[in-house]
């Protein structure tokens, strides 16, 4: 394990079919004013909204709502939430939804009492929080981002065509999250599989880096194997509780900071995907799947040993009598075929990206240098051209 690190994760998780039963107990730790935050209405269709309102009412809570949190929440929506949170003198923000709603709740929690423009402070200047933070609790309905147990809060600014994630410290992590796999059964297939690939991408972003023998990589391989196994089942049988519950648990561990410990991390697929998202507002996981194969084929020669190991340990490629390059490529072929089987978006055109947009998307890409190859802007453009 490289370097020195401190590891803590303050989010309490309640997992399983009966996990919502614990909400009452959690609510007793907070004051009366709850800001209920949710998306475009899926929770009203599946009955979760009514269940939660009943619990809040039984607990004597005074509830205000911010609804209509869109996928890829915008900065304008953030300002609306800040106003509502302050006016309601919110004691707890209760987020019910997917990554967008959970991210949004965290963004509001640090921004409501921020005296400057939160977009400029947290997203453009990447400063830490130095004001009051409103606690957040999550009830998760879509699996993928890991937002239920991390400090990530991604906000999109359509005017400046930027989609930026701030990873806040553990003082901003949700205080608790309720994870009931059954809630994810009503997800449309497109959202479900996008979430599956988001999980895979989170693991790979932390796996493809470093040359040391590192326990985090072995954990990542285990998570990947379980993910591939369960997603293959879930895509054919979406109400398979065993598969969906495994996937929900993998998603949380894929991005709750555990497997990033003691190593550098890559994150360039996410940086390129976020720039694509800023231009198209496309579903997050699909922006990642569309650029992944071109990206990994491009960096493979720079991290050949790891790509060979990935092929053998994750995709079960037999390495006997083959060069490292051949083994690595066989692994990538298996990965691509798995992605096609899931029905993921495999090129940018399908997301509405045009040739003319590519220079702008490469300009909007942020650079991270923890992977096997520190890319130049020209290389990002090349990867985008390969992906269209
Ligand atoms: O708005 P509603 O009506 O609820 O519909 C949502 C939304 O349209 C729907 N949905 C969610 N749960 C459902 C459901 N529909 C039926 N039944 C259910 N049970 O799914 C759609 C997508 O939801 P969204 O929350 O946008 O998806 P996801 O969880 O993928 O979140 C995406 C956001 O998270 C950010 C992304 O950039 C994007 O903004 N990320 C956050 C990260 C973090 N916190 O660490 C890391 C990720 O890499 C990612 O960047
Ligand atoms: Zn992601």
pLDDT at 247: 98
Q: Of 167, 183, 199, which closes a domain? A: 183
pLDDT at 35: 98
Instruction: Select from 65, 74, 95, 99 the residue to mutate for testing ligand 1; criterion: most ligand atoms less than 8 Å from CB.
Output: 99
pLDDT at 284: 98
**Residue 40 near ligand 1, beta carbon < 6 Å:** yes
Strand partners, 155: 164
Q: Of 148, 183, 218, which closes a domain? A: 183
The answer to whether residues 127 and 28 belong to one domain is: yes
DSSP 138: E
Ligand 2 centre from 233 Cα, in Å? 22
The answer to whether residues 46 and 143 belong to one domain is: yes
DSSP 129: P
Q: Of 166, 183, 200, which closes a domain? A: 183
pLDDT at 219: 98
The answer to whether residues 230 and 83 belong to one domain is: no
Ligand 1 centre from 196 Cα, in Å? 12
Are 253 and 223 spatial neighbours (Cβ–Cβ below 8 Å)?
yes
Closest C-alpha residue for ligand 1 atom 31 = 99
Query: By three-state DSSP, how is residue 74 classified?
Result: strand
Closest C-alpha residue for ligand 1 atom 7 = 71
Closest C-alpha residue for ligand 1 atom 22 = 71
Residues 368-373, mean pLDDT to the nearest whole number: 96
Q: Which atom of ligand 1 is nearest to the CA of 153?
A: 44
Is residue 386 within a helix (H) or strand (E), and if so which, with residue range? helix 377-387
Ligand 2 centre from 145 Cα, in Å? 5
Angle, in degrees to the nearest 10, between helices 189-207 and 284-299? 40
pLDDT at 271: 98
What is the spatial distance between Cα 365 and Cα 382, in angstroms, rounded to a whole number?
Answer: 13
Whole-model pTM: value is 0.98
Ligand 1 centre from 191 Cα, in Å? 8
Contacts of 26 (CB under 8 A, 6+ apart): 12, 137, 175, 176
pLDDT at 92: 98
**Residue 168 near ligand 1, beta carbon < 6 Å:** no
**Residue 182 near ligand 1, beta carbon < 6 Å:** no
Contacts of 201 (CB under 8 A, 6+ apart): 269, 270, 273, 285, 288, 289, 292
Q: Give how many domains the chain has, as a whole number.
A: 2
Please report the DSSP string for 78-97 in residue order. HHHHHHHHHHTT-SEEEEEE
**Residue 98 near ligand 1, beta carbon < 6 Å:** yes
Q: In this structure, is residue 5 part of a structural domain? A: no
Closest C-alpha residue for ligand 1 atom 15 = 187
pLDDT at 355: 97
Judged by its nearest atom, the ligand closest to the C-alpha of residue 166 is 1
What is the spatial distance between Cα 256 and Cα 258, in angstroms, rounded to a whole number?
Answer: 6
pLDDT tens string 237-278 = 999 999 999 999 999 999 999 999 999 999 999 999 999 999
Query: How much is the mean pLDDT over the chain?
Result: 97
Q: Which atom of ligand 1 is nearest to the CA of 167?
A: 45
C-alpha distances (whole Å) from 57 to each of 24, 36, 60, 166 are 10, 12, 5, 34
What is the spatial distance between Cα 233 and Cα 245, in angstroms, rounded to a whole number?
Answer: 12
What is the spatial distance between Cα 362 and Cα 378, in angstroms, rounded to a whole number?
Answer: 8
**Residue 252 near ligand 1, beta carbon < 6 Å:** no
pLDDT bucket at 44, cuts 50 / 70 / 90: very high
**Residue 255 near ligand 1, beta carbon < 6 Å:** yes
The answer to whether residues 280 and 304 belong to one domain is: yes
What domain range includes position 149?
Answer: 12-183
CATH of the domain at 304: 1.20.1090.10
**Residue 196 near ligand 1, beta carbon < 6 Å:** no
CATH of the domain at 103: 3.40.50.1970
Query: By three-state DSSP, how is residue 323 classified?
Result: coil
Judged by its nearest atom, the ligand closest to the C-alpha of residue 276 is 1
Residues 9-31, mean pLDDT to the nearest whole number: 98
Cα torsion through 59, 60, 65, 69, rounded to 10: -10
pLDDT bucket at 286, cuts 50 / 70 / 90: very high
Q: What percent of the chain has pLDDT over 70?
A: 100
**Residue 25 near ligand 1, beta carbon < 6 Å:** no
Closest C-alpha residue for ligand 1 atom 42 = 145
Q: In this structure, is residue 258 part of a structural domain? A: yes
pLDDT at 217: 98
Q: Are strands 136-140 and 92-97 parallel, antiparallel or unpaired?
A: parallel
pLDDT tens string 185-199 = 999 999 999 999 999
pLDDT at 134: 98
pLDDT tens string 124-166 = 999 999 999 999 999 999 999 999 999 999 999 999 999 999 9
Q: In this structure, is residue 7 part of a structural domain? A: no
Ligand 1 centre from 38 Cα, in Å? 11
Residue located via tokens 């509405």: 352
pLDDT bucket at 62, cuts 50 / 70 / 90: very high
Q: What percent of the chain has pLDDT over 90?
A: 99
What is the spatial distance between Cα 237 and Cα 252, in angstroms, rounded to a whole number?
Answer: 21
pLDDT tens string 98-135 = 999 999 999 999 999 999 999 999 999 999 999 999 99
pLDDT at 53: 98
């Amino acid at each position: 394990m490289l370097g020195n690190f401190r590891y803590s994760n303050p989010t309490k998780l309640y997992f399983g079919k009966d996990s919502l039963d614990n909400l009452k107990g959690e609510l007793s730790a907070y004051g009366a004013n709850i800001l209920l935050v949710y998306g475009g209405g899926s929770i009203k269709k599946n009955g979760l909204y009514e269940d939660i309102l009943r619990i809040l009412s039984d607990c004597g809570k005074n509830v205000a709502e911010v609804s209509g949190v869109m996928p890829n929440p915008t900065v304008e929506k953030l300002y609306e939430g800040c106003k509502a949170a302050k006016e309601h003198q919110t004691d707890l923000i209760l987020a019910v939804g997917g990554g967008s709603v959970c991210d949004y709740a965290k963004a509001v929690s640090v921004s409501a009492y921020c005296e400057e423009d939160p977009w400029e402070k947290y997203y453009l200047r990447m400063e830490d929080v130095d004001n009051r933070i409103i606690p957040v609790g999550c009830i998760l309905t879509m699996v993928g981002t890991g937002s239920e147990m991390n400090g990530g809060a991604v906000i999109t600014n359509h005017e400046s065509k930027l989609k930026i994630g701030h990873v806040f410290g553990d003082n901003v992590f949700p205080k608790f999250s309720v994870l009931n796999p059954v809630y994810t059964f009503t997800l449309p297939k497109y959202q479900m599989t996008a979430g599956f690939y988001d999980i895979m991408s989170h693991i790979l972003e932390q796996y493809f880096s470093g040359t040391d023998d590192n326990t985090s990589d072995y954990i990542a391989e285990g998570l990947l194997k379980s993910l591939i196994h369960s997603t293959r089942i879930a895509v054919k049988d979406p109400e398979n509780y065993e598969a969906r519950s495994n996937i929900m648990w993998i998603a949380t561990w894929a991005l709750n900071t555990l497997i990033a410990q003691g190593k550098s991390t890559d994150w360039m697929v996410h940086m390129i995907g976020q720039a694509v998202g800023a231009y198209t507002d496309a579903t997050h996981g699909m922006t990642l799947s569309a650029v992944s194969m071109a990206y990994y084929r491009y960096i493979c020669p720079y991290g050949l040993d790891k790509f060979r190991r990935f092929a053998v340990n994750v995709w079960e490629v037999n390495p006997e009598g083959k060069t490292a390059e051949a083994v690595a490529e066989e692994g990538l072929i298996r990965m691509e075929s798995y992605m096609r089987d899931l029905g993921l978006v495999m090129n940018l055109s399908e997301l509405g990206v045009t040739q003319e947009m590519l220079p702008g998307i490469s300009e909007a890409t942020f650079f991270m240098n923890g992977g096997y190859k520190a890319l130049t802007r020209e290389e990002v453009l090349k990867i985008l051209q390969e992906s269209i």
